[in-house]
Amino acid sequence: MKGCPLHCQWCSNPESINAYPEIMAYDTKCVRCGRCEQVCPKGAITIVEDVRKIDRSNCDFCLECVKACTSGAIEQVGKYMSVDEVVEEVAKDFLFYKNSGGGVTLSGGEPLLQWEFAIEVLRQCQERGIHTALDTSGYTNWEIMEHVLEYVDLVLFDIKHMNPGKHKEGTRVDNALILDNAVRTAGKVRTWIRVPVITGYNDSESNIRELAEFIAKLPIEKVSLLPYHCWGEQKYQRLGRSYHFKNTPSPTDEEIQKLKEIMESYKIDVTISR
Ligand code: SF4
Ligand code: SF4
């Protein structure tokens, strides 16, 4: 689901941050035909010296350029869907879920940003016997979260940093609400904690120990460590945004293994998800 109240600097899905359809541009596919320039009502596209430029500050996401481009060089990311459309799409794989023990996971972005929509999708999936999971940053009012959790079988709860200042620096929001909701969620629904491990941001031994001390007190099932990767970098360019983690390396296997062992020393079940 598109839309997120956090702005994690390392986000590998930047197209999921804004809660509306937008455009991604692929320079290598563009044949400079000029059709997009002709149809853009805002004059946001120009082709100068064989280079197509998009002035995003003038774009109102009318998507006329997407319709005009026959080369696939401007693509729409995100579309509006009704609850019924989403549930029908999910239900197409019902037999697969049944045979594999899987189900549906609402992810994003942040699904709780559209919590009423999320509830209706989750409720209808459960009614059809489909297992429901919620992948969340936990950044919402507890009243909303508690209501949504009534329709969730498993929560994948992301925690980025224990230090409030560092959390705000990396995500633009404070972590107090998130940590409070993590405690309440773990006491209510099956919960897995997910920790993106970002080189130079939250991978210090002190942060991992503080995190482990916090998590060890919760009735959660396991922790997944998610090593940072730069796979989203090109998406930033296609969205016309700058990428702050350009030269940040992924944690090595040895570094991740060390953090895993630190967490395990607190009697936490830890997996690594590359
Ligand atoms: S989506 Fe933006 S760039 Fe494309 S035609 Fe509309 S205003 Fe112009
Ligand atoms: S319509 Fe497509 S191929 Fe033509 S100039 Fe615009 S982006 Fe490039």
Question: Which structural domains are found in the chain, ordered by start?
Answer: 22-77 (3.30.70.20), 81-272 (3.20.20.70)
Q: What are the structure tokens assigned to 85, written together?
A: 């459309």
Which amino acid does the sequence have at 141?
N
> What's residue 166's pLDDT?
97
Distance 241 CA to ligand 1 centre (A): 16
Q: What is the mean pLDDT of residues 153-158?
A: 98
Mean pLDDT of 93-101: 95
Q: By the 8 A CB rule, do 133 and 104 touch?
A: yes
Question: Residue 49: which pLDDT band, with cuts at 50, 70 and 90?
Answer: confident
Report how far ligand 1's centroid is from the alpha carbon of 72 (Å). 15
Contact indicator for 77, 21 with CB cutoff of 8 Å: yes
Output the pLDDT for position 164.
97
What the block records as the tokens of 12 is: 């590998």
Q: Is the pLDDT of residue 245 over 90?
A: no
User: Distance (Å, rounded) from C-alpha 197 to C-alpha 23?
Assistant: 29
Identify whether 109 is preceded by a cis peptide bond (ω within 30 of 0): yes
Over the stretch 201-213, which tens digit does the pLDDT of each residue have?
Answer: 999 999 999 999 9
* Residue whose structure tokens are 């942040």: 110
User: What is the model's pLDDT at position 246?
Assistant: 83
Residues 6 or more apart whose CB falls under 8 angstroms from that of 117 comprise: 1, 83
Q: Tell me, what's the pLDDT at 168?
A: 97
Helix, strand and coil in the chain, % to nearest 5: 40, 20, 45
Which residue, 102, 111, 89, is CA-closest to 130? 102
Tell me what the mean pLDDT of segment 248-267 comes to. 96
CA distance 224 to 221: 10
Please name the residue whose Cα sits nearest to atom 4 of ligand 1.
65
Ligand 2 centre to CA of 67 (Å) is 10
73 CA from centroid of ligand 2 (Å): 6
Give the model's pLDDT for residue 274. Answer: 81
136, 158 Cβ separation under 8 angstroms: yes
- Ligand 1: atom nearest CA of 54 is 3
Task: Please say if the pLDDT value at position 194 is more than 90.
Answer: yes
Q: Identify whether the C-beta of residue 99 lies closer than 8 Å to the C-beta of residue 65.
A: no
Model confidence at 50, pLDDT cuts 50, 70, 90, reads confident
Distance CA 55, CA 59 (A): 7
Residues forming beta bridges with residue 134, ordered by sequence position = 106, 155
Q: What are phi and psi of 134, to 5 degrees?
A: -125, 120
CA distance 74 to 69: 7
* Spatial separation of the C-alpha atoms in residues 46 and 23, rounded to whole Å: 15
Q: What residues does ligand 2 touch, defined as CB less than 6 Å away? A: 30-36, 52, 68-69, 71, 73-74
Mutating to test ligand 1, I would choose from 59, 66, 74, 77 the residue with most ligand atoms within 8 A of its C-beta, which is 59
pLDDT mean across residues, the chain: 96
User: Which residues does ligand 1 sit against, CB inside 6 Å?
Assistant: 23, 40, 42, 44-45, 54, 59-65
Gap between the terminal Cα atoms of the chain:
22
Cβ neighbours of residue 269 closer than 8 Å, sequence gap 6 or more: 221, 222, 223
The arithmetic mean of pLDDT across residues 227-241, rounded, is: 93
Q: Residue 139: name the closest of 117, 118, 160 by CA.
A: 160
